[in-house]
Each structure stands twice: as structure tokens, then as C-alpha cells.
């Protein structure tokens, strides 16, 4: 007898769960007249346009990370930043002792003035253009050449008149050849001095550049991730001083499943959330991998997330929604109208003065509204805050 009763009860429960009007919690028809009608407040299910997307997880990374170092060796006299310091492009990060570099500049300036003086130029001039023919060295050699040429010409005339010996003509010819050689040597010497002047000019430029390089400046806007040295240390060229990361914008790397990868496009909006922060940050898809990863069947996607005020940190784990459809119509009801019983979601409606249960399938929650994916039509009235209201209970709709 007991086994028969259990079987009958089981059949009744299954039959109740198979309809839109579940038996669980519903009032029998015989008891409805004895129950006072309960006032309820209803609201129409609203149809709205919302964005549709896919939710994936990823990691925030710095757009750029740079280990800053000096191009020259020296003793560190000052470091102006520490861990977490915000820096701007062009800001001074650290300074080497400039004494040695200033002395090298003065030495190079003196060598340049000396080279200019040897070419007959003003020591403090700015241009290095020289005509070799107008230099004192070449003018002197040219004068000696002219004199030797005239002397030989006279000797030729005297030899033709048989007034001098052949030896004297040979001597004049040799003197002319020596003068021509000295003239060529003078021109080569001037050109050599011009090359020396250019070298001294380069040495001065290098010395001045080294003086500038003794001051380390930030190459980008960002924040100091790590400081490697302290003031007073002697540093070789290339020794890391600080590591700076760009924190605006940040790069978000996401692995999108292959089944939704075809819907992702460059320029789509990305809504980003991080653990411990209720704010939603908005970014844009900027890069897509050209191939699906064979290991996990995902597409690598990179998004840029603005971070002007530094609320987000590189390396943080993030949950992102890539908006694949900007406008999609959906039905929404207040979250307080959803009733969950035995794992089944439902809403209460009103029909002919009686409450009516309707099973629904919910989607996303946006604020205090819940999306109804299935089970409810737009403008259909639902009970707000049904509480312990059951199906089949008499109700009156409050204004």
C-alpha cells in the first residue's frame, strides 16, 4: 500500500513539472474562494536594445617597458625617483657627476680653437670653410714658386745667349721643381689641417653630447616599476638604473574561443573588470592574431584600455566582454520579479484575476534588470516582488 501511494505521488509531481502551470506551490481550485484576493503590483516586460558580446579572461600588460641606463660611465650623484613614482616624458630621472664631462668640453673647445688658428681662422668663429689658396702657408709656397719660375726663365734666356754655364740653368730648374713640390706640400698640409679641424669639431660635439648624456631623462610617460641603484655608486655605461612601464594605455591580451572568434573585429568595444574593483573600464580591440592556436583552439586578441589615472595595474587578471553586436533587442524584467524554486526560474503574471506562473530562461543582469531569453513576450505584465505568491492565487492589481 505504501509503495502504491509513493508511485502515485511521483506521477503527480512529474505531471505538474511538465506544464507551464506547475503543481508545486499552486492552490487547489477548492481553496481559491476561501482565500482573500492579494493586491499585487505589476509591470510590463520591457523590450530594449542592448549590446551582445562574449566574455573571456586575460591579463593586463604594459604597452612598453624600458630599462633605463646611462650611455656614459660615471658616479651617480642624484636619483630623483623611486618605486611607483609617476614620470613624464623628458623628466630627469638621474644625474651623474658632471665635473669630468665639463672639463672634457673645455678641452675640446681649446683644441678646436687651436685647429682654427692654424688655418688662419678666428678662434671663436662658427664656420670652417677655407680656401687653401688664401691660407698663409700656401701663399708663401706660391710666392716661392713664382720666384723660382721667374729665375729659371731668366736663366733660360741667358743660356740661349751663351752668357751662363749649363750648370747654372740646371740649378735654376732644380730650384723650380723644389718650389713646385713645396707648393703641393703646402696645399696638402692645409687639407690635412682642415681634416684636423673637422675632427676637433666632432670631438667637441661628442664631449657636449656626453655632458648631456650624464643626465638621464624619461623616454615616455609611465611609472617606475623597479629601482636598481642608489646615489654614490660608480656606474659603467649601460648599467640599469630604473625600469619604467607605460601605464596609459594598457594592453589587454585575450584568448577568444574558436567558436566565437569569427565575430571579433578590430575596433569593437571591450568592457573590462578587475578583481576588487566594481568599476567597468572600456577599451577597444586593436590587434588580432592571423591564426588560431592549435594547442587550445583560441584566437589571440589584443585590446587597448585607457588608464589615464592609473587605476589599473599591469599584470592584473581581468575579465573582459567583447561587444560583438552593438544593437540587439532583448526583453527585460526587474530582478525582484524573478522567483527561483527547485532550480527553476519563473515569473508571476496575472490572468483573469489569478496569479499565473511562467517558467523563463534568464540571461545577463544589467543593473537591477534581468534579461529574459525565453518564456516571456514584450509588454507582458509580471508581478513585482511576488514574495510567497503561488500560482492560481486570487490577486488584485494595484494601481
Query: Are 306 and 318 in a shared domain?
Result: yes
Q: 3-class DSSP state for residue 251?
A: strand
Contact 286, 302 (CB under 8 A): yes
What would the mean pLDDT of 299-327 be, rounded to a whole number? 88
Quick one: 91 and 230 in the same domain? yes
pLDDT tens-digit profile of 226-247? 999 999 999 999 999 999 999 8
Domain identity same for 220 and 317:
no
Percent of the chain with pLDDT over 90: 46
Could you tell me which of 268, 266, 269 has the C-alpha nearest to residue 286?
Answer: 266
Lowest mean pLDDT among 264-273, 283-292, 390-399: 390-399
Residue 317 lies in a domain: yes
189 and 105 in one domain?
Answer: yes
Q: What b/e readout covers 336-348, taking b as 16+ CB neighbours within 10 angstroms?
A: ebbbeeeeebbbb
Q: Are residues 143 and 42 in the same domain?
A: no
Do residues 59 and 76 both lie within one domain? no
Residue 33: the pLDDT is 53
Measured between its terminal Cα atoms, the distance across the chain in Å is 52
Alpha-carbon distance 338 to 387, whole Å? 10
β pairing state of 395-397 and 38-44? parallel
Residues 128-151 have pLDDT tens digits of: 788 888 888 888 999 999 999 999
Q: Any residues with CB less than 8 A from the CB of 280 and at least 6 apart, and which?
A: 271, 272, 273
Question: What local confidence, expressed as pLDDT, does residue 114 receive?
Answer: 93
Same domain, 164 and 124: yes
Cβ partners under 8 Å of residue 232, min gap 6: 75, 76, 77
Report if residue 8 sits inside a domain.
no
Which of 18-22, 45-49, 123-127, 263-267 is the most confident on average? 263-267
Question: Do the domain assignments include residue 1?
Answer: no
User: What range defines the domain where residue 288 resides?
Assistant: 54-63+246-326
Cα dist from 220 to 63, 64, 67, 210, 390, whole Å: 11, 9, 12, 21, 64
| Last residue within a domain, chosen from 245, 266, 301 | 245
Q: What is the CATH number of the domain that holds 224?
A: 2.40.50.100
Per-residue model confidence (pLDDT) at position 299: 92
> Residue 380 to residues 116, 257, 341, 364, 391: CA-CA distances in angstroms?
96, 36, 21, 19, 17
Q: Among 326, 345, 372, identify where a domain stops.
A: 326
CA 265 to chain centre: 20
Residues 256 and 163 in one domain: no
The fraction of the chain above a pLDDT of 70, given in percent, is 89
Element at 176 (helix H, strand E): helix 166-213
Cα–Cα distance for residue pair 363/332, rounded to 1 Å: 9
pLDDT over 70 (residue 192): yes
Domain boundary among 213, 231, 259: 213
157: pLDDT strictly greater than 80 = yes
Q: Is residue 12 part of a domain?
A: no
298 and 266 co-located in one domain: yes
| Whether residue 32 sits in one domain with residue 173 | no
The answer to whether residue 146 is domain-embedded is yes
pLDDT tens, residue by residue, 337-358: 888 877 788 888 888 888 888 8
Which tens digits make up the pLDDT trace of 245-280? 998 899 999 999 998 888 898 999 999 999 888 889
Q: How confident is the model at residue 10 (pLDDT cuts 50, 70, 90)?
A: very low
What's the total number of domains in the chain?
Answer: 4
- Whether residues 339 and 193 share a domain: the answer is no
Contact 384, 335 (CB under 8 A): no
C-alpha–C-alpha distance, residues 363 and 305, integer Å: 26
Amino acid at each position: 500500500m505504501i509503495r502504491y501511494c509513493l508511485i502515485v505521488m511521483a506521477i503527480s509531481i512529474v505531471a505538474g513539472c511538465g506544464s507551464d502551470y506547475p503543481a508545486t506551490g499552486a492552490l487547489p481550485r477548492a481553496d481559491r474562494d476561501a482565500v482573500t484576493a492579494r493586491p499585487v503590483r505589476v509591470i510590463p516586460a520591457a523590450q530594449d536594445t542592448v549590446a551582445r558580446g562574449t566574455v573571456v579572461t586575460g591579463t593586463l600588460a604594459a604597452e612598453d617597458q624600458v630599462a633605463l641606463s646611462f650611455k656614459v660611465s660615471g658616479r651617480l650623484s642624484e636619483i630623483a625617483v623611486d618605486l611607483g613614482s609617476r614620470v613624464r616624458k623628458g623628466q630627469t630621472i638621474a644625474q651623474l657627476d658632471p665635473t669630468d664631462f665639463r672639463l672634457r668640453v673645455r678641452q675640446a673647445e681649446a683644441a678646436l680653437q687651436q685647429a682654427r688658428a692654424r688655418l688662419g681662422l678666428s678662434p671663436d668663429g662658427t664656420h670652417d670653410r677655407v680656401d687653401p689658396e688664401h691660407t698663409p702657408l700656401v701663399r708663401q709656397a706660391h710666392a716661392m714658386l713664382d720666384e723660382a719660375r721667374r729665375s729659371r726663365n731668366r736663366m733660360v734666356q741667358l743660356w740661349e745667349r751663351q752668357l751662363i754655364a749649363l750648370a747654372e740653368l740646371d740649378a735654376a730648374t732644380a730650384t723650380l721643381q723644389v718650389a713646385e713640390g713645396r707648393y703641393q706640400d703646402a696645399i696638402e698640409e692645409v687639407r690635412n689641417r682642415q681634416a684636423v679641424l673637422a675632427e676637433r669639431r666632432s670631438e667637441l660635439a661628442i664631449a657636449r653630447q656626453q655632458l648631456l648624456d650624464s643626465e638621464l631623462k624619461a623616454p615616455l610617460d609611465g611609472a617606475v616599476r623597479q629601482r636598481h641603484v642608489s646615489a654614490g655608486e660608480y656606474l659603467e655605461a649601460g648599467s640599469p638604473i630604473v625600469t619604467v612601464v607605460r601605464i596609459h594605455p594598457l594592453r589587454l591580451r585575450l584568448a577568444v574561443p574558436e567558436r566565437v572568434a569569427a565575430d571579433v573585429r578590430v575596433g569593437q568595444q571591450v568592457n573590462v573588470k578587475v578583481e576588487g574593483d566594481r568599476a567597468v573600464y572600456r577599451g577597444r580591440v586593436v590587434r588580432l592574431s592571423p591564426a588560431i592556436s592549435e594547442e587550445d583552439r583560441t584566437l589571440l586578441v589584443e585590446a587597448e584600455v585607457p588608464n589615464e589615472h592609473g587605476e589599473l595595474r599591469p599584470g592584473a587578471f581581468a575579465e573582459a566582454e567583447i561587444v560583438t553586436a552593438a544593437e540587439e533587442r532583448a526583453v527585460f524584467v526587474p530582478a525582484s520579479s524573478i522567483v527561483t524554486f527547485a532550480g527553476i526560474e519563473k515569473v508571476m503574471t496575472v490572468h483573469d484575476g489569478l496569479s499565473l506562473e511562467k517558467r523563463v530562461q534568464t540571461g545577463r543582469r544589467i543593473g537591477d534588470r534581468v534579461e529574459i531569453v525565453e518564456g516571456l513576450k514584450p509588454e507582458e505584465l509580471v508581478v513585482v516582488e511576488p514574495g510567497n505568491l503561488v500560482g492560481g492565487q486570487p490577486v488584485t492589481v494595484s494601481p
